[in-house]
Structure 1
């Protein structure tokens, strides 16, 4: 798929997502939450790498709270713009976060991170996926140093 086609498709799906009313979105968020927490992948995972939802993305706050409640180790992304990289940083509490320049919550302290080989489950944001499960993201390539 060409870059322009991806952009058009992504914008179309984002428009549909943004048009959901609060109740519709909450129902869908809860359905995703319930499906995820009942999977064997979630149940067996010790280390979970998950994004903190932003704007109209699927609400991941309840998933994160549940994982912390279940005594799982939760790691969230920290983006480093200077070298376009990302690390998975351990989250102990929502008090350990602050908004970055884009308004997205990120860890204040990035000293406790995990290597990718030790992650059991990764939850990534996505707007559009193709039939081969390839994600069409927001368009910027970032090296993941996890």
Structure 2
């Protein structure tokens, strides 16, 4: 276990360094390429209920994706992380403007307030068809390196107990986040697909 943890930590550092070296323009450019790939993806086209992460600076930007979700008339859910645990809910977003009124977390992303109980949680609202996954690093086999809190792994376990079953999962990545191989253990949930700018 200790060896695995150390390997993950070293890799997290390395990927953070690679992503930090990207200019804002380059991150934006790759975000557009990845968003366009998503918009053509059959799982995205057919999904009705989708969970989207609100992106941080070192992640593929999801702003255009959230806009498109509303344009297409899909139902959008975004994460609310509980900082004191590894518990996360996916709460319904009413509009793009809705995000702007939400409080900022210590990670500098907006999310529904802790005491905001007016929003539907995705699993209580019929479950999800698709989850867009953040992460620090990915390999081509669908292994994901998160930030170490286990929010998504725990949430996917809850999804698996839902009558609808596990939603399809797509990670959005800069090509700099792709690794040969991510060290994983049994708790790490595989991702169905990683979208990034490849040489097509």
* Correspondent of 1:54 among 48, 53, 56: 56
Count of aligned pairs: 146
The match for 1:28 is 30
Instruction: Map Cα deviations across residues 20-74 of structure 1 (whole Å, 9 max, x no partner).
Output: 1122111101000000011001100000001000122110111011101111100
* Structure 2 Cα separation of the partners of residues 73 and 8 of structure 1: 38
* Correspondent of 1:118 among 119, 127, 142: 127
Contact 2:86 2:149 in 1 (8 A): no
**Kindly tell me: are residues 96 and 114 of structure 1, through their superposed partners in 2, closer, same or farther at Cα, counting changes over 3 Å?**
farther
The match for 1:135 is 144
* Structure 2 Cα separation of the partners of residues 38 and 12 of structure 1: 31
Any unmatched runs of 5+ in structure 1?
Answer: none
Q: CA RMSD in A?
A: 2.0
Q: Could you say what secondary structure the match of 2:103 adopts?
A: strand
Q: Could you say what secondary structure the match of 1:118 adopts?
A: coil
The alpha-carbon deviation at position 83 of structure 1 amounts to 4.2
* Structure 2 Cα separation of the partners of residues 119 and 92 of structure 1: 16
The match for 2:198 is none
* Structure 1 Cα separation of the partners of residues 140 and 72 of structure 2: 33
The alpha-carbon deviation at position 96 of structure 1 amounts to 4.6
Structure with greater strand percent: 1
**59-68 vs 77-86, greater mean Cα deviation:** 77-86
Q: Could you say what secondary structure the match of 2:111 adopts?
A: strand
* Structure 1 Cα separation of the partners of residues 143 and 91 of structure 2: 25
**Kindly tell me: are residues 102 and 42 of structure 1, through their superposed partners in 2, closer, same or farther at Cα, counting changes over 3 Å?**
same
Task: List structure 1 runs of 4+ shifted beyond 6 angstroms.
Answer: none
The match for 1:106 is 111
Q: Could you say what secondary structure the match of 2:29 adopts?
A: helix
What TM-score do you get using the length of structure 2 for normalisation?
A: 0.66
What TM-score do you get using the length of structure 1 for normalisation?
A: 0.89
* Structure 2 Cα separation of the partners of residues 21 and 138 of structure 1: 22
Q: Could you say what secondary structure the match of 1:14 adopts?
A: helix
Contact 2:69 2:76 in 1 (8 A): yes
* Structure 2 Cα separation of the partners of residues 16 and 6 of structure 1: 15
